[in-house]
Structure 1
């Protein structure tokens, strides 16, 4: 038997062993009703962090288009006022 056919035999044996299981081991452990199991959803991301990241990106770009886009996407956010000041600075208004 060559090395290649030996590897294939091992893969087929492993596939057969997995197919013979009623449920994968991970699934068997997730019977609890709490959300700390392997399939628990990640906590929601703070939306303010995402807006801050967009603001920082606009600041790095420092173009009229970048500031206009930020203001259009977040007109009521606390950073919109600062973005408007940056836009006025760039446009000379």
Structure 2
């Protein structure tokens, strides 16, 4: 259960999941922003990587704004959840 990516692999040879992991790891460890905007972070990730991602996000110092259709991920791992419906921002309890 990790976010391992073989850094010796050329980017063009990465699978969709490996590319997604690499992009997320770059954001978490190389960029020095305080807010992460992440669109569909669980796409292309296997279940173990989704769990590892959630742990990394929770342990990070970032405020994360995540756009996702994966309601299970959002409700289990996010402190606040909102839904945009009919051009309105709704809080999900």
TM-score by length of 1: 0.32
TM-score by length of 2: 0.32
Determine which structure has greater relative contact order: mean sequence separation of CA pairs < 8 Å that are 6+ residues apart, divided by chain length.
2
Query: Counting strand residues as a fraction of each chain, which structure ranks higher?
Result: 2
